[in-house]
Chain A
Amino acid sequence: MTKYVIIGNSAAAIGAVQGIREYDKEGGITIITDEPHHTYSRPLISYWLEGKVADDKMYYRGEDFYKENNVDVLFSRRAEKIEKNSVVLDGGDRIAFDKLLVATGSKPFIPPMKGLDKVKNSFTFMTWDSAKAIKKKVKKNTKVLIIGAGLIGLKAAEALHHLNADITVVDLADRILPSILDVRAGEIMQKHIESKGTKIILNTSVEEFSPNSAKLTNGDTVDFDILITAVGVRPNTELISEAGGKVERGIITDDTQLTTLKNIYAAGDCTVSHDCSTDTDRILALLPNAFMQGEVAGKNMAGAEAHYQNAIPMNAIGFYGLHIITAGSYDGEEYVEEDAENERYKKLVFKDGLLKGYILMGDVKRAGIYTSMIKERIPLDNVDTDIMKDSPQMLMFGRARRLEKLGGIAVKE
């Protein structure tokens, strides 16, 4: 019987359990997690903080998941190192494995900032426990300073806005959400968020912290009751690098999710993915990516053959009620439609005869049809581009694809 060990208890780990159990119902699976919780959805922590999602809806899988899949979970235990086909835990216990998955995710990156050690109520926003710690400190009109106007910082801001906190977001960049939006979409979203009462200060960083205030590089001083640092994340790669595995910006794997170490796989935010929209290697810290990499890893660990391909950056997210879906790369020829008054924006990006990326703001209906064009590299020659620009619809494809996908009939085009 194969002994499977998984370090981590989030999307990639759960994907691996499902992948393993598709092919191996017998082998023992042990999950090691440094958190005390049943597997929960990390992106839901902002919804939980806001009060929109209750405790019992935080769980990523049902309460019987571990039992149904015959998984032993070691809660609140840290994996310290990997040594001779064993994982060494805090306290020295060793867990032997035949196949190991490292799904250790990432951790908040906190840059050196002068005086930060004097701030008592300083938080990050990555785990349920961090959200719980913040919730204890927030009341109506609590002054919150958030460093970072990216996905995590603004999701925290949105949640705290619903708790009627007084929020200021500061970022060194010249625009918000630079990882997923272009300049114009960023402007529309910024205006939207500011219209709800959240202050955003760009091109600015903190010069020095006092216990309850921050002196900014623009000369202003912002008073705060609590501080949240959300400037970025770093993958947890140490277990693999210390064991001699290849690590660049994240853990290097092949498309079966195998690391450069024998019998050791890795998946999720701790790994480097291949972005097929730009043909480059990068970290794609996205939940769907993590689950699917984990599932592929699990299948391969169980002796089946599976490959993870066609990964692209993609995000579906809303802030203060305004929704956006974005995918792929924005390097190429652009088609743009804008209705800023109604907070609507659409950008399609073309290169090499393919759709490479898109931004949809406001109206996000059927966006996945665009996503499929990027991932499957469907040539624009095979598509009615006027229909495509109007809205995502199956009508834009040729009859052959429609017959195959909707009619269940394979036809050569």
Chain B
Amino acid sequence: MKKVYVNEDWCLACHLCEYYCAAANSGAPNMIKAFAGGKKPIPRIKVEEGSGISFAVQCRHCDEPLCVKGCITGALSVKDGVISCDESRCVGCYTCVMSCPYGCIVISEDSKVIQKCDLCVKNNNGDPACVKGCPNKAIVLEER
């Protein structure tokens, strides 16, 4: 299965992936509208930077996903290798936040339920927005 991989040597720390991710999952038709309101939509990808290094971190869609196995409600599930969350079944207990070794489960500031990368399969974006938007090909969708 194709997964998202990052190359920290090529990351420019531009944070564009975060904006593309947030916009793609905001439900708004474009970037301008996504960020027009008072509240900024939250990205499910995070750029870490320090000591001259930067890289993006997003869900690894693990083969043995601790978030899914630990989910107390059954809101998290795997379909065709993609881990996604049925937000209507999430109660915001954050057992998945406790379980994810990469810190890739994001907490919604509004609803307090969790959000996570689903490789853009639910938002009709096609290929993941972070991959499409990265100007330096530091984020790729590949079979490895």
Contacts and interface: CB of A to CB of B under 8 A. Distances in A.
Contacts of A403: 8
A203 interface: no
A139 B122 CA distance: 42
Contact of B94 (A43, A292, A325, A394): A325
B73 A44 contact: yes
A61 B86 CA distance: 12
Contact of B107 (A365, A371, A394): A365
Interface size class of A (residues with CB under 8 A): 35 or more
Given A41-B74, A287-B70, A367-B98, A408 B57 contact: no
A51 interface: no
B89 A406 contact: no
B3 to A, nearest CB: 7
B6 A406 contact: yes
Interface string B114-133: 00000000000000000000
A316 B93 contact: yes
A402 interface: yes
Interface in A336-376: 364-369, 371-372, 376
Please report whether the interface of chain B is mostly helix, strand, loop or mixed according to DSSP: mixed
B5 A44 contact: no
A395 interface: yes
B89 A316 contact: no
A41 B107 CA distance: 21
A410 B7 CA distance: 13
B91 A394 contact: no
A291 to B, nearest CB: 5
B55 A365 contact: no
A62 B101 CA distance: 27
B79 interface: no
A368 B91 contact: no
A291 B6 contact: no
A130 to B, nearest CB: 18
A262 B3 CA distance: 42
A318 B93 contact: yes
Contact of A291 (B8, B57, B70): B70
Nearest to B7: A407
A314 interface: yes
B128 to A, nearest CB: 15
Nearest to B143: A408
B28 interface: no
A61 B74 contact: yes
A175 B57 CA distance: 39
B66 interface: yes
Nearest to B95: A316
B105 interface: yes
A294 to B, nearest CB: 10
Most buried by A among B94, B96, B144: B94
Given A287-B70, A318-B93, A406-B6, 17 more contacts: A43-B72, A44-B91, A53-B91, A61-B74, A288-B70, A288-B99, A314-B99, A316-B94, A316-B95, A368-B102, A369-B101, A371-B101, A394-B102, A395-B53, A405-B102, A406-B5, A406-B55
Interface of A: 15, 41, 43-44, 47, 52-53, 57, 59-62, 287-288, 291-292, 295, 314-318, 323, 325, 327, 364-369, 371-372, 376, 387, 392-395, 399, 402-403, 405-408
22 contacts: A43-B72, A43-B93, A60-B74, A288-B69, A288-B70, A325-B94, A366-B100, A367-B98, A368-B96, A368-B97, A368-B100, A368-B105, A369-B102, A376-B101, A393-B48, A394-B103, A395-B48, A406-B8, A406-B57, A407-B5, A407-B8, A408-B142
Q: Across chains A and B, which 7 residue pairs bring their CB atoms closest together, nearest first? A: A366-B103, A288-B70, A372-B101, A368-B100, A316-B98, A316-B94, A408-B144
Interface of B: 3, 5-8, 48-51, 53, 55, 57, 60, 66, 69-70, 72-74, 88-89, 91-103, 105, 107, 142, 144
